[in-house]
């Protein structure tokens, strides 16, 4: 085993969540229950998965927690910002994701988690009306307030390190502009209070990275996925990751599309539709917010099934995505997929998938892993885009010189190899 300079996971880790809604409250409840031994962290690789290290006679299978030094769940301290004043207990009850009997054992801890006022601009999330928000100020001043929030939280809770994760709503579509291309132009736009090109999520991202806190973007927002923020992350030696938690339908796509490619089966069309009734569904009912999500979802198939590489199989795919707000389902999402495929001699076939999933139940373990692994990356001296965390994300961030990897199995290999390296083992699985 090689010596690897990874600082130990000592002391408390602050986890500051932007948004204290269904996903975040489910994540917090599950983590608190798991550390009391009252629930299993199902879906979390960091807590349950094993992986191989070494080869031949030296081959061993170890839990990930035995391969790398991760923060113990007992050392995690939660905080949040939200546009509503409900504490974590009230939020979990209102979300109606978890049964009250599964929330009450950690009621006291949840009631102590009271969100800080949020940065909010309704122009970016048109269907929500926030009441627990920071007073009107310039984007730069709001960012400075968030930085102060981070410092105060860290001091008040005696945290050695802090990770910030966005688990709030999808913002309206924002194209990459000149103001996002360099750190200097981005800071200028913030100080000039350019409200059209500087989204609220960018205030959180800048504040976190400027404070040296890893930042994770769990929505498809532009936010941290700009050259300006890449520059800041390198300047402050801070890891960043995103975008968009990979939960239901896209998870299925990253499994099914590689199957088609592996078997050299053709694809004529892929129609996807979703119904969901939670706050995320309400936000995405707005066309401008849906466009942001649509771009994230559409990128998956076209990247895995490369029409230029195999034009006879994937050169003319019709790919359609729909999201429909349907309040009766609340957090229980249903994703329908219809795949029109073809095989030997061009003969047509169909694959139909109906995934009745629970959005927040699938997302919660992703938040836990992303937080712990981002903290690990920071302690390992890594910074910039953490593309090895693409396993958890719909629209993986990447610079202009590289293409993202969407194949779930390739992503898993990349994840394990990075863990091997940070654990002092040889990376020994290749990705073609």
DSSP state of 212: T
Instruction: Judge if 347 and 396 occupy the same domain.
Output: no
Instruction: Judge if 63 and 43 occupy the same domain.
Output: yes
Does some domain include residue 430?
Answer: no
Does some domain include residue 1?
Answer: no
Give the model's pLDDT for residue 297: 65
Give the model's pLDDT for residue 431: 67
Does some domain include residue 219?
Answer: yes
Give the model's pLDDT for residue 2: 54
Rounded Cα–Cα distance for residues 207 and 235 (Å): 13
**Tokens representing 113?**
């988690």
Give the model's pLDDT for residue 391: 97
Give the model's pLDDT for residue 273: 93
Instruction: Judge if 261 and 321 occupy the same domain.
Output: yes
Q: How many domains does the chain have?
A: 2
CB-based contacts of 323, cutoff 8 Å, min separation 6 = 273, 274, 276, 281, 284, 290, 293
Instruction: Judge if 373 and 266 occupy the same domain.
Output: no
Does some domain include residue 3?
Answer: no
Instruction: Judge if 221 and 85 occupy the same domain.
Output: yes
* CATH number of 344's domain: 3.30.360.10
Instruction: Judge if 353 and 366 occupy the same domain.
Output: no
Residue 150 belongs to what domain range? 12-245+361-422
Instruction: Judge if 234 and 254 occupy the same domain.
Output: no
DSSP state of 245: B
Instruction: Judge if 160 and 47 occupy the same domain.
Output: yes
Give the model's pLDDT for residue 3: 54
- Closest by CA to 71, choosing from 367, 376, 380, 425, is 376
Give the model's pLDDT for residue 432: 57
Give the model's pLDDT for residue 279: 78
Does some domain include residue 157?
Answer: yes
Give the model's pLDDT for residue 384: 98
**Tokens representing 82?**
């939200």
* CATH number of 104's domain: 3.40.50.720
- pLDDT per position in the chain (432 positions), as tens? 455 799 999 999 999 999 999 999 999 999 999 999 999 999 999 999 999 999 888 899 999 999 999 999 999 999 999 999 999 999 999 999 999 999 999 999 999 999 999 999 999 998 899 999 999 999 999 999 999 999 999 999 999 999 999 999 999 999 999 999 999 999 999 999 999 999 999 999 999 999 999 999 999 999 999 999 999 999 999 999 999 999 988 999 999 999 999 999 999 999 999 998 887 777 777 777 777 767 766 778 988 999 999 999 999 999 999 989 999 988 898 999 999 999 999 999 999 999 999 999 999 999 999 999 999 999 999 999 999 999 999 999 999 998 899 999 999 999 999 999 999 999 987 765
Instruction: Judge if 177 and 107 occupy the same domain.
Output: yes
DSSP state of 74: G
Does some domain include residue 99?
Answer: yes
Domain boundary (339, 358, 377) is at: 358
CB-based contacts of 57, cutoff 8 Å, min separation 6 = none
The DSSP secondary structure of 249-312, one letter per residue, reads: HHHHHHHHHHHHHHHT-EEEEEEEEEEE-SHHHHHHTSHHHHHHHHHHHHHHHHHHS-TTT-HH
Instruction: Judge if 352 and 371 occupy the same domain.
Output: no
Instruction: Judge if 149 and 18 occupy the same domain.
Output: yes
Domain boundary (358, 390, 413) is at: 358
Domain boundary (333, 358, 383) is at: 358
> Model's pTM, two decimal places?
0.94
Does some domain include residue 6?
Answer: no
Instruction: Judge if 328 and 188 occupy the same domain.
Output: no
Bridging pattern class, strands 215-217 and 239-242: parallel
């Amino acid at each position: 085993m090689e010596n690897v300079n990874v600082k130990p996971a000592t002391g408390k880790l602050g986890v500051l969540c932007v948004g204290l809604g269904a996903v975040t409250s489910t994540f917090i409840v599950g983590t608190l229950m798991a550390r009391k031994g009252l629930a299993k962290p199902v879906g979390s690789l960091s807590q349950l998965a094993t992986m191989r290290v070494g080869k031949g006679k030296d081959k061993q299978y170890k839990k990930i927690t035995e391969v790398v030094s991760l923060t113990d769940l007992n050392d995690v301290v939660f905080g949040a910002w939200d546009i509503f004043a409900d504490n974590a207990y009230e939020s979990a009850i209102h979300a109606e994701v978890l049964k009250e009997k599964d929330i009450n054992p950690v009621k006291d801890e949840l009631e102590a988690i009271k969100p800080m006022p949020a940065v909010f601009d309704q122009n970016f999330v048109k269907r929500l009306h926030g009441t627990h928000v920071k007073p009107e100020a310039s984007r730069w001043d709001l960012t400075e307030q968030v930085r102060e929030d981070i410092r105060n939280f860290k001091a008040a809770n005696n945290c050695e390190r802090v990770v910030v994760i966005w688990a709030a709503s999808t913002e309206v579509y924002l194209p990459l502009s000149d103001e996002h291309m360099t750190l200097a132009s981005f800071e200028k736009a913030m100080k000039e209070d350019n409200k059209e090109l500087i989204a609220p999520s960018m205030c959180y991202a800048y504040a976190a990275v400027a404070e040296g806190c890893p930042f994770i973007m769990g929505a498809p927002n532009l936010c941290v996925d700009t050259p300006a923020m890449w520059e800041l992350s390198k300047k402050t030696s801070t890891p960043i990751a995103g975008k968009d938690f990979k939960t239901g339908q896209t998870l299925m796509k990253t499994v099914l599309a590689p199957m088609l490619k592996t078997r050299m089966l053709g694809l004529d069309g892929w129609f996807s539709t979703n119904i969901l009734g939670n706050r995320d569904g309400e936000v995405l009912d707005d066309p401008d917010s849906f466009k942001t999500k649509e771009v994230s979802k559409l990128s998956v198939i076209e990247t895995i099934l490369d029409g230029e590489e195999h034009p006879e199989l994937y050169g003319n795919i019709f790919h359609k995505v729909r999201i429909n707000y349907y309040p009766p389902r609340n957090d229980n999402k249903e994703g329908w997929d219809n795949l029109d495929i073809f095989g030997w001699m061009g003969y047509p076939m169909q694959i139909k998938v109906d995934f009745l999933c629970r959005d927040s139940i699938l997302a919660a373990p992703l938040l836990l892993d992303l937080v712990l692994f981002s903290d690990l990356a920071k302690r390992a001296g890594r910074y910039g885009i953490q593309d090895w965390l693409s396993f958890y994300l719909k629209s993986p961030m990447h610079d202009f010189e590289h293409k993202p990897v969407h194949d779930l199995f390739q992503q898993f290999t990349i994840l394990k190899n990075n863990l091997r390296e940070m654990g002092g083992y040889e990376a020994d699985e290749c990705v073609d």
